[in-house]
A = this chain, B = another copy of it.
Amino acid sequence: MRHSQTNDGIGHVDFVGAGPGDPELLTLKALKAFERADVVLHDRLISTEVLALAGRNAVLVDVGKAGFGPSWKQEDIDALLVSHAANGQHVVRLKSGDPTVFGRLDEEIQAVQAAGISWTIVPGVTAASAAVAGIGQSLTQRGRNSSVRFLTGHDMKGFADHDWTALAQSGSVAAIYMGKKSARFIQGRLIMHGADRATPVTLIENASRPDQHVMATTLDQLPDDLIAAEMDGPTLMFYGLEPRNAVTALTQYKKEHA
């Protein structure tokens, strides 16, 4: 194993965005961090194609907190980051998409900083950008929406009435991360706050990957269609957006990946 010791024998932690899955959506900076890495601690959802780009000598550790394998606690991940870096290693902490968007980055930064270890954030392409590209749309559009919200389905139960009211307005657009399990709740709250049942909702499973799957529905049909679609992969949900031209977008995507 390579040891890239700094002058004081202390390593470094790069918190790196892996992008949405397509390895070509990695940045050059992420690749450079990979090349320097002694160890890569990665989430469960990172694609094997992305992991294949890590340096030959880097040790890959799956610290995913979900799934069927042994479950990692946040404090264990924090401790592993610190122990490797304190040992003089260059650590890449690889997170899906952009690490600053629903990446639970802060606990890890605090642990690393408290140990006196230097760190950097390497931003990445977030899932919403890749997913919206996959349906040929923009997150914002003049005359339609001058703002866009990124939400997570996990936390929407804590939303206040004014949030729901703002979201329920015609023309609102939101990218909802990890929203599948909350779909029925989200639907109920939005309709309660005046949202049009015909508002388009689009789900993109495995955005940017060869097995990308797009489902266009409406707020009214969302829960039923979601059950029928049986989406198992990471899925981004757009509230207020429909595919520009589902056939064209998918054809482009497949041509691009042929």
Determine the distance from Cα of A95 to Cα of B27 in the docked complex, in whole angstroms.
16
Contacts of A255 in B (CB 8 A): 118
- Chain B residue with the shortest CB-CB distance to A158: B146
Taking a contact as CB atoms under 8 Å apart, the answer to whether A252 and B109 are in contact is: no
Determine the distance from Cα of A138 to Cα of B105 in the docked complex, in whole angstroms.
7
Determine the distance from Cα of A253 to Cα of B253 in the docked complex, in whole angstroms.
35
Q: Which of B24, B121, B146 contacts A136 (CB 8 A)?
A: B121
Interface residues of A in 113-136 (CB under 8 A from B): 113, 118-126, 129-130, 132-133, 136
A8 interface residue per 8 A CB criterion: no
Determine the distance from Cα of A195 to Cα of B242 in the docked complex, in whole angstroms.
34
Determine the distance from Cα of A253 to Cα of B142 in the docked complex, in whole angstroms.
34
Query: Contacts A28-B25, A125-B125 hold; do A150 and B156 have CB atoms under 8 A apart?
Result: no
Taking a contact as CB atoms under 8 Å apart, the answer to whether B146 and A133 are in contact is: no
Taking a contact as CB atoms under 8 Å apart, the answer to whether B98 and A141 are in contact is: no
| Chain A: interface size category | 35 or more
A219 interface residue per 8 A CB criterion: no
Taking a contact as CB atoms under 8 Å apart, the answer to whether A27 and B29 are in contact is: no
- Chain A 245-256 interface 0/1 with B at a Cβ cutoff of 8 Å (1 = within): 100100011011
Determine the distance from Cα of A138 to Cα of B255 in the docked complex, in whole angstroms.
35
- Chain B residue with the shortest CB-CB distance to A174: B147
Q: What is the interface of chain A mostly: helix, strand, loop, or mixed?
A: mixed
- Chain A 190-234 interface 0/1 with B at a Cβ cutoff of 8 Å (1 = within): 000000000000000000100000000000000000000000000
Taking a contact as CB atoms under 8 Å apart, the answer to whether A133 and B141 are in contact is: no
Contacts of A151 in B (CB 8 A): 146-147
Contacts of A98 in B (CB 8 A): 125, 129, 139
- Chain B residue with the shortest CB-CB distance to A103: B138
Taking a contact as CB atoms under 8 Å apart, the answer to whether B125 and A123 are in contact is: yes
A26 interface residue per 8 A CB criterion: yes
Determine the distance from Cα of A104 to Cα of B245 in the docked complex, in whole angstroms.
18
- Taking the closest CB of chain B, its distance from the CB of A24, in whole angstroms, is 4
Determine the distance from Cα of A141 to Cα of B151 in the docked complex, in whole angstroms.
11
Taking a contact as CB atoms under 8 Å apart, the answer to whether B155 and A146 are in contact is: yes
Contacts of A99 in B (CB 8 A): 133, 138
Closest 5 CB pairs of A and B: A146-B155, A121-B133, A123-B129, A24-B29, A100-B138
